[in-house]
Chains A and B, each alone.
Chain A
């Protein structure tokens, strides 16, 4: 299987509060996504990768990025974005001011983004007031897994 045929699902998180949701979604996806010979899926957990995110784009045509975001939406809202919409979101955590949006903007400037790059964000609102065991997040995580399954199904069916 050529690397460009591998679909990467990169789940970004950190140990801090609701920012952890990307990792929890990765665990759910591992359990729920059916692997078959038509789709080679690689699920990757990353901890605030900064510009290191770009290394995952090398030689791959399709990438889904999942991260906790602050998008001024109700807590638990799932947002689906393409790279040209990325300035609308803000990562919860970053290092040296280089979060998901900045890394993608740098990828655009360097022309290294994959052909298909879809960013899924879950608005986690205030870190202080939210807990991932809240029903709203349990529901959001499942909605997210279902949305990913649909995306993969579309890719499989061409």
Chain B
């Protein structure tokens, strides 16, 4: 009897941040094993923080990621403020939401236009796509720039911003700066809505999976910085109880930890967020979504690109709201008057999903312990589950190139930031 066994390898993942590989072993057109190997070296940031003063933490964790530094800064700031019982007040709260709008706009725009769209339009790269779709790509870059402008307003620069600190921001924008940015955002709003309509026309694959969606949820607003950790399957916990329900484990093939919720894979990121919080979007955003025909909650992982597009539009609408009400504060931050020992927790919504931090500080405000759970490591188990389901749904009898393409699309769809999590794709399919 001839038993057909094959291996498919994707040795380097393209168009993701960081380095990883995928190996598939196929026996008689059934998936025998699937290994997503993350071989980027460990980053060890948690240990770098031990012994450092609390005031260093916000700047150090920003270096974990060049794409989503604000997520790390915000989670750390909230965690440290919770140790010191600091309430930064409404001005800082609003500016932190604005800061986050900038990060979502720039990170999501990069992914939608340069990383994900080429997959759905059958291009090997964004460069090829840009030749055929110059207007859409140029518009995407303009939108991305709005994100950079917001980040620069509060962070002094768009890459590794330095404006945030425990208690708020080092400097408040002037009225003139705020007004100038408000005008730019208002001028751009209609083309951002056009982008959402365009993304909804992309021919995305139709897959239906039972997905556990995890995100923050706040009673009154679409979540950025605050809320409970919730799932679409009944979880609703304060952020301090994260470790009671979620478990990070080492796996042999990866320098990144893998996370499970009560032993099961789960999804974080824009699709999980919009599935759990669609009702909290402003009516204007809901109306645009209704116009596109995309329905939330969605159980098609490939709707992630639509969720990202909607969140870009939401971020523009929210940034306009914040800037229309902008006033210069007496102080742009609350001073830390006294340090104290204790545990602090922070959880905010990075573009790729919840970014959870836990710190123990000593009496002098030095870090004794830190735990950082980035979104991408939370998604690995779900990515592997998605790969198994999607490849089997496609049919493993298909040629290696087709399997490889779908596998890469599935992985890219999560916009994984491997550099953040180590703490791309080289696919190998073994059919021998």
Contact = CB atoms under 8 A, between A and B. Distances in A.
B130 A109 contact: yes
B62 to A, nearest CB: 12
Contacts of B15: 96-97
A98 B145 CA distance: 16
Interface stretch (A48-56, A114-122, A130-138, A146-154): A48-56
Interface in A75-121: 95-98, 102, 105-106, 109-112
Interface string B135-164: 001100100110010000000011110000
Contacts of B126: 106
A52 B148 contact: yes
Nearest to B16: A96
B426 to A, nearest CB: 14
A8 B144 CA distance: 22
Interface residues of B, number: 25
B362 to A, nearest CB: 28
Nearest to B424: A97
- Interface of B, secondary structure class, is helix
Contact of A96 (B114, B141, B157): B114
Contacts of B205: none
Contact of A47 (B67, B138, B157): B157
Contacts of B110: 50-51, 96
A95 B131 contact: no
Interface in B370-409: none
Give the interface size bracket for A toward B.
Answer: 10 to 19
A98 B114 contact: yes
B14 A97 contact: yes
Contacts of A106: 126-127, 130, 137
A109 to B, nearest CB: 4
Nearest to B132: A109
Nearest to B159: A47
Contact of B114 (A51, A55, A111): A51
A95 B66 contact: yes
B102 to A, nearest CB: 13
B119 to A, nearest CB: 14
B390 to A, nearest CB: 23
Interface of B: 14-17, 66-67, 110, 114-115, 126-127, 130-131, 134, 137-138, 141, 144-145, 148, 157-160, 424
Given A96-B17, A110-B130, 8 more contacts: A51-B141, A98-B114, A102-B127, A109-B127, A109-B130, A110-B137, A110-B141, A112-B138
